[in-house]
Structure 1
Amino acid sequence: MENIKVSVILPVYNVEKYLKQCLDTIVGQTLKEIEILCVDDGSTDDSVQILKEYEQKDHRIKVLSQKNAGAGAARNLGLRHASGKYLSFLDSDDFFEPDMLETAYEQAERYQAEMVVFRSNQYLTEKDEYKETPWTLRMQELPPYAPFGRRQMTDNIFKVFVGWAWDKLFLKSFVDEKNLTFQEQRTSNDLLFVFSAVTLAKKIAVTDKILAHQRRDAKDSLSKTREKSWDCFYKALTALRERMKQEGIFEEVEKDFINYALHFSLWNLNTLAEPTQTILRNKLLEEWFADLGISGKNKEYFYNKSEYEQYAKLIESGK
């Protein structure tokens, strides 16, 4: 297939329950000039059979396989095979509006953007209802024009968008030029890729329209078993910091980074179950708050005072 406008990269792991709905909303996209690279990550259920059925029915689908190594490794494998002008990294338990890719593609072409961000909401599986998520795209922090870069954002550049990849479209030549890849770890594997793109892109555009639906509350969701990968967020943050230093821009973004590091540390701490929560709490107090640059900063340094107050209480309790 020539002139592929978007390469869709879809990691798949034991998601037979939701996979057909996901694939139907991808093959049914109004943008037809796409390739769909489905990467089986060592599934042990019927996911592979479903993928092969769809591959036989639609020439745009190509199934790739790897031993179980996580979504980050699966996305990197798909990235190596992608030949489209733009890249879309989707999750196989989510589903999408029919015009998602066309809308994002047209916005990217209009502004010659390296990155396009659009709105999403959550689909609560067990309640069969949708929940609005206005915090995933903070329009009030963006300039009234496009395209723009990090310097035109008025708030913490790591809080304007969320560090996941599936509500964004990326220019492949930009990804290749900047050598952006996903961390090959169990969770928080897209933070490095996404926030590196946010800081390095000079041309970002947005679409203030809900185009993707993130499935939540699924009992087998990866986010509900983060106890197995409680340190991945820290590895993601330190890798991002190292990339910013390599680019020579860390001093410029340092305050935003430290504020985000506190936010993300507390979010992980607050959402973990015991006994892992205590393990993380001790690690933060003994090492990671200091290593991430949070220790020693006064209240005025932090944008979110309630986060600072929780941090201060943690420090006090650890004395």
Structure 2
Amino acid sequence: MVSIIVPVYNAAPYLNQCVDSLTNQTLKEIEIILINDGSTDDSLAVCMALAATDDRIRLIDKPNGGVSEARNDGLRAATGEYVGFVDPDDWVDEDMYEHMLATLTAAQADICMCNYVKEAKEGTVPVLMKHSGGTIEKEAILDEIVANVIAKPSFRSGETDIMGSVCRLLISRELLERGNIWFDKEVAFMEDLLVCVEAFLKCERVAIDAGAYYHYRVHESSTVMAYKSKFYQRQKQAFAKLQELLVREGKAAALAPRMANRCIIIALLALANEAHKDNPTPFREKIRNIDAIVADEELAATLEKIELDNVEPRKKLELNLMKKKASVRLYLYYSVFNKIKAALGKG
């Protein structure tokens, strides 16, 4: 019934917990596809040992090609009626896929979405959507899901977005095949978000399961925590791909306000990335990189249009510094901000 795709790259310490949570699913009619993406640690040996214990585990060993191509290889190999994705350093509740399949089939939906739990060394935090359950159809999918996956409605306090991760979804394989939906191997960041948006735009009905089944591990080597080289350029590339997708699907105008917010969010994340403690770049080059970010014409045009009256104080400070192109002050601000976040364990 369900094919669960796990792209594996240098995840040996976490694989047993991840795969055990899948082999112990209360839904037994599953296949687990492990794609070893050219790991240089013991991941392949761990995968082989795990595959020997359960004939529902299929192992694909390939040269390193990135997470997008690994997931595509998993999709090509999948035989299940529905597809789920799990990252190798995460794990899921043992009844996740039984519940999600029941929710999806009862609603006759193409996609089921659940909540997730953020697992950090400081503690466990459930991250819940505003929807407590039910189904969302057609135009409401655009307003209530796609828009919030792209960006939160505003920069006011209390506004939230929806994390665009395929790992919280159960998707009809027929929808993926009919829509010709694949992960873009040219995109280094936001590849999840692109697939989520395209799948939501091409489906008729989404079922919401209120359960928080997926456990997302945050650790020092997590993508969200680590310093990323050429982050802004890669995010801008993904942003352009997202814009192309919205134009192709005829939704660019409807989602223009959220894309404007995402443009600003990308810049804010890029500024924090430049001030990351692990950034090896010399100080002057960091400032030049920040200069380039705040000089971006699309960003400047977006900042000019934003209404700051109701923006929370911290965000207002950040946006005003960006408007003024105050690169050194931005660097100092984010250097302090990153240290505070690390001290509080918020990652």
TM-score range, shorter chain: 0.7 to 0.9
Match of 1:138 in 2: 130
Aligned residue type for 2:318: Q
Question: Please, which of 141, 165, 168 is the counterpart of residue 150 of structure 1?
Answer: 141
Give 1:259's match in structure 2, choosing from 250, 261, 265.
261
* Deviation by residue 1:267-311 (Cα, 9 ceiling, x = unmatched): 3433442548645533332236349x6254241799888646522
- Shift in CA distance, 211/316, structure 1 to aligned 2, threshold 3 Å: same
Letter in 1 for 2:71: R
SS at 2:167 equivalent: coil
**Equivalent residue for 2:335?**
none
Q: Could you say which residue in structure 1 is the equivalent of 2:330? A: none
Q: Distance in 2 between matches of 1:169 and 1:301?
A: 40
1:242-280: per-residue Cα shift (whole Å, max 9, x none)?
Answer: 011111221122112222332243234334425486455
What SS does structure 2 have at the residue aligned with 1:225?
coil
Distance (whole Å) between structure 1 residues aligned to residue 66 and residue 323 of structure 2: 34
Q: CA RMSD for the aligned pairs? A: 2.7
1:102 aligns with 2:103: no
**Maintained 8 Å contact 1:88/1:166:** yes
C-alpha distance in 2 between matches for 1:302 and 1:285 = 22
Query: What is the identity, as a one-letter code, of the residue corresponding to 2:293?
Result: L
Give the deviation of 1:153 after TM superposition.
1.9
Say if 1:280 and 1:110 are closer, same or farther in 2 by CA, change over 3 A.
farther
- Which stretch has the larger CA shift, 53-62 or 150-159? 150-159
Partner of 2:318: 310
1:229-240, aligned counterparts within 5 Å?
229-230=230-231, 231-240=233-242
Contact kept? 2:38, 2:61, Cα under 8 Å = yes
| Length, aligned pairs only | 306
- What secondary structure, in the 3-state scheme, does the structure 2 residue paired with 1:239 have? helix
How far off its partner does 1:59 sit?
1.3
Normalising by structure 1, we get a TM-score of 0.85
TM-score normalised according to structure 2 size = 0.79
1:139 counterpart letter in structure 2: H
- Distance in 2 separating the partners of 1:81 and 1:222: 26
Change (3 A) 1:258 1:19: same
Q: Is the 8 A contact 2:9 2:43 kept in 1?
A: yes
Query: 1:79 aligns to what?
Result: 75
CA separation of 1:106 and 1:186: change in aligned 2, threshold 3 A: same
Q: Contact 1:96–1:211 at 8 Å: present in 2 too?
A: yes
Q: Is 1:29 matched with 2:18?
A: no
SS at match of 1:169: strand
Return closer, same or farther for 1:156/1:190 CA change in 2, 3 Å cut-off.
closer
Q: Which runs of 5+ in 1 are unaligned?
A: none
Q: Structure 1's 154 and 172: CA in aligned 2 closer, same or farther, altered over 3 A?
A: closer
User: What SS does the corresponding residue of 2:207 show, helix, strand or coil?
Assistant: strand
1:305–1:78 distance in 2 versus 1, CA, 3 Å:
farther
Q: 2:295 aligns with which of 271, 277, 286?
A: 286
**Aligned with 1:224: secondary structure?**
coil
Contact 1:37 1:63 survives alignment (8 Å): yes
CA distance in 1, matches of 2:309, 2:53: 56
1:152-197 alpha-carbon deviations (Å, 9 max, x no partner): 5299432442111111111111112222221224333212111222
Alpha-carbon displacement from aligned partner over 1:138-161 (angstroms, at most 9, x marks no partner):
328xxx741324245299432442
Letter matched to residue 258 of structure 1: A
**Given the superposition, is the C-alpha separation of residues 214 and 154 from structure 1 closer, same or farther in structure 2, using an over 3 Å criterion?**
closer
Partner of 1:93: 89
Residue identity opposite 2:15 in structure 1: L
* Cα distance change of structure 1 residues 155 and 102 upon mapping to structure 2, 3 Å threshold: closer
